[in-house]
Amino acid sequence: MLKIITHPNPILRKRSQNVADVLSDKIQKLIPEMMETMKAKEGVGLAAPQIGQNIRLFVVGYKDKNLVIINPKIIKKSLLKEWDEEGCLSIPNKYGQVKRHKSLTVKYLNEGGQEQTLKASGLLARVIQHETDHLDGILFIDKAKNLADILY
C-alpha cells in the first residue's frame, strides 16, 4: 500500500505536470496501487500528489465504478452550485462545507491512453472537482467553511 502524505507537506501545494506517457510501466504500476490505497483508506478519490507524485492523475471509486482520470480538463461547469461536507485523506479527521458546481463535463485520458469525455453530477462531480484541485495544489480547507475536527 502507498503512503499518503498529509498537510502541510509542500508537495500538496505544487501544481502537477501532465502525464507524458500513460502506457509507461511506472504509470501502469501506479494506477492499481493508488486504487488499492484509496479503497483501504475508505476514500472515494485519491490524487497522485497525495502519494508524493506531482503528476496529473487521480482515481475515483464511486458506486460500482473505478475511474482512472489522467490529464483532466474540466470543459463545462454548471452555473448552479451547492454546499456539502468534504474531507480528505491528506487532512485526516477534518471536515468542512465546500461549495462546488452541481455538474460538470471533464475530458481526460483513461488508463489505456484513450481520450474520454464524462458528464458528472452530484457526488461524482464533487469528487472530480476535489481531486482536480489537488492537481493544482489546492486543498479543500482553502475553500471550506465550518471546518471541524472529528475525533475518534
pLDDT, tens only, 55-88: 999 999 988 889 999 999 999 999 999 999 999 9
**Residue 151's pLDDT is what?**
67
The answer to the question of residue 5 being in a domain is no
Please tell me the predicted confidence (pLDDT) of residue 73: 98
Handedness of CA 13, 72, 17, 53 (dihedral sign): positive
Question: How does DSSP classify residue 52?
Answer: T
pLDDT digits (tens, 9 = 90+) for 24-58: 999 999 999 999 999 999 999 999 999 999 999 99
Which residues contact residue 110 at a Cβ distance below 8 angstroms, ignoring those fewer than 6 apart?
A: 68, 69, 70, 116
Q: Give the cell for residue 57.
A: 492523475
- Classify residue 136: in a domain, yes or no: yes
CA atoms of 142 and 145, how far apart (whole Å): 9
3 is a domain residue: no
Query: Which residue has 509507461 as its cell numbers?
Result: 24
Neighbours of 2 (CB within 10 A): 18
Q: What's the domain range around 22?
A: 10-149
Tell whether 1 is covered by a domain.
no
Element (H, E) at 118: strand 115-121
Whether residue 115 lies in the annotated active site: no
CATH code assigned at 75 = 3.90.45.10
Catalytic residue among 36, 82, 111, 131: 131
In a domain, 28, yes or no: yes
Residue 4 lies in a domain: no
- Domain annotation covers residue 99: yes
pTM of the model: 0.95
| Residue type present at position 99 | K
Count how many domains the chain has. Answer: 1
DSSP 1: -
Strand partners, 83: 99
